[in-house]
Structure 1
Amino acid sequence: MPLKRAKQACLHCHRRRIRCDVLQQQPCSNCVTQEVPCEVGVSRRGKYPRKKTTKTSLESSSATIQPPPQSHSQLLPLPDLTSPTTITSTNASTLPISARQIVNDSTVFLGESSPLTSVMDPTQPPKLQYPLPDRLAPSSTRDDAVRLHQVQQAAQLESSGALSFPPDATINALLQAYFRWFHPCFPIVDRAAVFRARTNTPARTGVSSIPPLLLQSMLFIGVSLCDDQTFAKTEFPVRYRAKFLFYSRAKAIYEADAEASPIVKLQALFMLSFWRGGPSEERDVRYWLGIAISLAQKRGMHMMSQFSPPPREKKLWKRIWWALYTRDQQSAAALGLPPRIRDEDGDVEMLYPDDILDEESVENDIYGPQKRQDLVYPVEMAKLARLLRTIVSTQYLHHQQPDLATRNSLNKQLCLWESHLPVELRLDHVSPDSLFLTGLLHMTYQNLYILLHRRTFLDPTPHDSGQIALDAATKSTRILEDLLSHHLVQHAPPHLITHAFSTLCIHTIHHRRNSGTMRTLAEHRARLCLLSLEELQKSWDLENWVLHLFFRGLDDRTAESLRRMSESHVDHQETQGPNVTPGDATTIVAAPDNLPTGPPASSGEMFMPMAQDDWYGWVPWEDQADALNLQNLEFLYRFL
């Protein structure tokens, strides 16, 4: 007769796989014989985490947000504001394998070149998403050291103020600026989900059910783009300090790995890419965008057509992907660096207005209504981003030799894009309500002409004088004048900095080549560009030394002519809030007491050439007639 298995064994006997009599006596006989401590472990049978039963309707589950934890320090996964739909157990069985897997965060994407694909069952459809074991899930804390580290990180975030937020009135004002100026350009969050999360914030705790990483990032964008009157009502003394506050908090939360949702991380990383540090700062736009793009590709976003996620989640994925694509192409072209996203690596279909349309309307002054131009602007910007990619790859790669036929072909593509433009975004149908997005779109469009014909404008040939670049710069200046007259430039995304500076360079060269009326007109247009850059400085902190280098590249006569603009213009003071001393400001994460308050206060300081500095020797130019050449322009172009 086989021996009966003991119902329980002490830890020592369990490790040695020997029979234990700890239920009859303790210490057990084996431990007494071996003279070792006899400890009884706690059984984990039946105590593994079970999946919660989901609702039986996709529609009902999308409208549900889980209650928030009592404290942000608990570091538990907060409600996913990004993909509010879930697959039910009933519906999942009827979907393809890849569709069932993509809705679960506990999956890993492996492309077709992975060796794992070679051992899969050839009779089954190709699979690119593979489930992870529960013990490897993002929320798993299978190691005591990991759990201890999480507790320590939570305590550190609490003590540093990274999980602190301003009063509700300030949050609402900054969120209003976010949804008015940023969200129409980059609709990467679910407006209705954010509204529900803010509405469901329990009064007893005051803890928002928006993930802290996402909320701090949104507040960083909001405080950058809000108008001066709104900022004056906040408790912050200087806008630059407020931006650094929210940026530092979001960065600290991300680097502590306190957020489990990959989509929330993607959204926050995209927003952090709008931080404009110094020229030597490593965590710049390319740093944050690179992490975001890598995370998106790791999730398989670039192969979206291979999966069948729920419609609402698919729309969100497309919006995030095309926002990453657009910003990646813009920043790469401005910096003269290769883009991280290549068209040949993915198969994401183009955006459509239905992808941007809110499935739930939000009747609230903070989150604002969705307008028709909000639906078509991101679509058209994505199309222009693809054209930008083509222009750079055919005109500016070192192994490419630009030719007239290629430029003519690209000209036709640009004209074709304009001919199919929706009426809501046409300049001849612009209204005060649609001027902001229409102006931004056409500034981007005209900048593509400047980029395409800039070389021939700087070095004309018998077949191409580059007149198209000058015409595009003239049209861009008219748009800037309209945006300035309606006080809209300050709220524009940072790619307008590149467009305004590119336009400024064209007008400056035209100014030097001409005399009389043409010279006066060019000077006037250049001044408008400088005024636009001054307005953009309120939001995005222009690197002033780049503009000083710009003036260094001019001959004395041209520099003096443009400099009169800054001398006659009213000095611009950095926006101030109420009478609050820097010591009264909210604690800034890892911020020293001597934190710089941002760019110089006056426009005169901003645009006046400086005395020779340590950096002056970086650029081998002198104040001579041909100083502002192609190489100098491209050097400056990299930093704006």
Structure 2
Amino acid sequence: MTWERYLIILIGDRRGPRHSVYDLCHPETPEDARYLPPDTVISSSHKPHELEYMRLQGVFSRLPDDVCDELIRCYFHHVHFFLPIIDAPAFLNEYCSNGSRNISLLLYWSILLAAANFVDADVLQKAGFSSRKAMKTAMYERAKCLYDFDRGTEKLVLIQSVILLGFWYTDPQDHTGAWYWIGIAISLSQNIGLHRSSRLGSRAPQKSLPARESLMRRIWWACVVRDRWVSLARGRPMRIHSEDCDTPLPVVEDIMNELESVVGRARSHFVPVESRALAEMWIRLVRICDTLGHILRVHYCVNGGIPSITEIDKYAQELQALAQEDAVPVDSSESLSINGIQIDLLYQATIAILYRPYVLNRSTPLPSGAHSLWQKIATSRAREAASNTNGLLQSLIEVDGIRYLKPMMITAMIPAMQIHLYDCKSSNALTRGLAENKLQLHMLVLSNLRETYWSADVTYRLFDRAQNILKESNSQVEKPPIKNADNSRDSTHLQQSQPQLFPPTEPPLLPTPEPTVLVGEQQYANTWFNGSPQFRDVDQLLSPGFYLSEDGFSEFLLSYEDAVVYDPLVLG
């Protein structure tokens, strides 16, 4: 690699000073020329104390072969087609030939971290872990140790690894969560120009350029997908703005052409037979997330104006065009159906997010040109999307697919849960009862996911407390005065004949822990809910821009009656 090529990689665009300097020295070079990241790695040996620390952290340890095989299989069946960022032929062919000896340890442990969410209990036992959370903690600590002592990891491998480290989440007190890692991935990607379209033309020096370009394109759009949903989950600005990027959308062949090079045992054991259908689903996911980014900019830009009804309807039409694309065949396999349902969950969540501000917060100005009838239509579409989310969750339960849900699905459930919680405040008893039942389905799913994801535990506690607040407020509403004995008798008769959705003698749908009496707990809890700038009351929880800050998180859990300790981390 020549010095000139290295300079072209780093000069950036017209905003940077190096661009103008290079332009003066090499005016004949096309302005938009860009080369691939260098393949050479500048490395240096680790110091003895660093090696010893890494050894104590288990960085150089190896899992049993059958456990490692199952984790790699889970990765390519449940992670790769949501984040197709790995060079599958290079990784699988090397792994099947030589094991993990020649694979980057940072990438190796990062892959196992992502795969640990989906392994069965018997695999955990063979590996010596008591739970998925315990396995994920071990995998993360080893990968994080390698990242901290990094010595010149090749840039694309480093980006791939930190994207996968974004599967780590414990609580907002831990600054190295998904928000942190996706930020690093985006910064590194922009540093080597993955956000810009390649226009190498005849100057491309490598024969493997198409495959390399395909990989880079997939990595960039994986960053976009993660950026959209992590930004939504945390209530923070997106880091990627479409006006700064011109990398073209990926296509199915970007994945399929690469998989053709996976042969023998690597293909039969690790690559799903439904690869093409899964690749088509990923393309649909990318397009959904591209539209989601525009919606978030319209609704949550700090200095933005009121959107027009034309803008809202434009994005509604974009989503409508994606409604029937890549529909899962009726006779498809169970794993393919589970993946398709998850894409549909994200799709319905995006529809709910488009209309959510006009349902939950009636003080939100209507789009320019809109009227009360439009608001009724928007409310109807948001409620329909929330109901469709319930139907999809029910379908997942029927095929035992809840355990295969990706972390972003928890974020995708929240808009529907907010809409159901809003309807729990309705003065209409039937509307309120129906909303409570719908919300209970989400709580059931979250209860199941708490064993795998810390974020599911946080969301469960949040909405559980919100429902308790609503029940308390509803019970304190004054009843209308009774005018005479006849009216009293009629009122008593009506109350006795009113059907009860949840009879007192019926066991609860979800398991609830035994309450623990804390000194001053009630006063402390009220202080948290009334004083926090993020969650003063249920109405604020219903705000589309709601998020739970780091400052409020610990108080929320410490004030909660059934705060529990997970090995080896303490929530809050």
Give the TM-score, by structure 1 length: 0.69
1:123–1:563: structure 2 CA closer, same or farther, 3 Å change rule? Answer: farther
Deviation at 1:211, TM superposition (A): 1.1
Percent identity of equivalent pairs: 23
Question: Do residues 444 (structure 1) and 346 (structure 2) align?
Answer: yes
C-alpha distance in structure 1 between counterparts of 2:12 and 2:297, whole Å:
28
Structure 1 634/140 Cα, relative in aligned 2: closer, same or farther at 3 Å?
same
> 1:599 maps to what in 2?
none
Aligned position for 2:96: 199
Q: Does 1:388 align with 2:301?
A: no
Does 2:261 align with 1:360?
Answer: yes
How many residues align? The count is: 492
Is 1:500–1:529's contact at 8 Å kept on the other side of the alignment? yes
Partner of 1:528, secondary structure, is helix
Q: Secondary structure at the match of 1:619?
A: helix
Pair 1:532–1:526, CA change in 2 (3 A):
same
Q: Is the aligned partner of 1:458 residue 2:360?
A: yes
| Whole-angstrom CA distance in 2 between matches of 1:363 and 1:130 | 32
Which of 413, 438, 442 does residue 318 from structure 2 map onto? 413
Give, in angstroms, the shift of residue 458 of structure 1.
2.1
Whole-angstrom distance in 2 between the partners of 1:253 and 1:246: 11
CA distance in 2, matches of 1:225, 1:107: 38
CA distance in 1 between partners of 2:311 and 2:134 (Å): 47
Aligned to 1:260: 153
Per-residue CA deviations over 1:591-631 (Å, capped at 9, x if unaligned) read xxxxxxxxxxxx6479x999548675343289xxx942145
Is 1:298 matched up with 2:195? Answer: no
Give runs of aligned pairs for residues 13-412 of structure 1, distance below 5 A.
101=5, 108-118=10-20, 119-126=24-31, 138-139=41-42, 141=44, 147=45, 149-201=46-98, 208-258=101-151, 260-307=153-200, 310-357=209-256, 358-361=259-262, 362-399=266-303, 400-412=305-317
Cα deviation code 1:246-288 (max 9, x no counterpart): 0000000011014521111111100111111212211111111
Q: Is the 8 A contact 1:182 1:221 kept in 2?
A: yes
Structure 2 CA distance for partners of 1:534 and 1:194, relative to 1, 3 Å? same
Q: What is the rounded CA distance, in whole Å, between the counterparts of 1:401 and 1:411 in structure 2?
A: 17
1:556-611 superposed Cα distances (whole Å, 9 cap, x missing partner): 2699989989963475xxxxxxxxxxxxxxxxxxxxxxxxxxxxxxx6479x9995
* Higher helix fraction (1 or 2): 2
CA contact (8 A) 2:34 2:198 kept: no
Give matches, 1:614-633, under 5 Å: 617-620=527-530, 627-630=537-540, 632-633=542-543
Deviation per residue, 1:378-431 (Å, 9 max, x gap): 211111111111111112223332443432222222112325x1344x7x7866
**Stretches of structure 1 lacking an aligned partner (at least 5 in a row):** 1-50, 52-96, 142-146, 572-602
CA RMSD after TM alignment = 3.7
TM-score normalised to the size of structure 2? 0.77
Contact 1:285/1:331 (<8 A) preserved: yes
- The 2-side partners of 1:259 and 1:116 are apart by 24
SS in structure 2 at match of 1:306: coil
Rate the CA distance shift 1:249–1:434 in 2: closer, same or farther, 3 A.
same
Give, in angstroms, the shift of residue 524 of structure 1: 2.2
Aligned amino acid, residue 176 of structure 1: R
The verdict on how the C-alpha distance between 1:429 and 1:173 changes in structure 2, with shifts beyond 3 A counting, is closer
Matched letter for residue 488 of structure 1:
G
Aligned counterpart in structure 1 of residue 418 of structure 2, from 491, 505, 522: 505
Q: In 2, Cα distance between the equivalents of 1:383 and 1:314?
A: 19
Counterpart CA distance in 1 for 2:420 and 2:37 is 58
Change (3 A) 1:631 1:510: closer
Task: Tell me how far 1:518 sits from its aligned partner.
Answer: 3.9
Residues in 2 aligned to 1:316 and 1:534: alpha-carbon distance in whole angstroms: 37
Distance 1:549 1:535, change over 3 A: closer
Whichever residue aligns with residue 324 of structure 1, its letter is: C
Quote the Cα distance in structure 1 between the aligned partners of 2:122 and 2:510: 19
Contact conserved, 1:109 with 1:128, CA < 8 A, in 2? no
How far apart, in 1, do the equivalents of 2:526 and 2:219 lie? Answer: 41
Q: Name the larger-Rg structure.
A: 1
Q: CA deviation at 1:155?
A: 3.7
1:478 CA displacement: 0.1
Match of 1:468 in 2: 381
Work out whether residues 319 and 351 of structure 1, in 8 Å CA contact, stay in contact via their aligned partners in 2. yes
1:525 pairs, out of 438, 457, 461, with 438
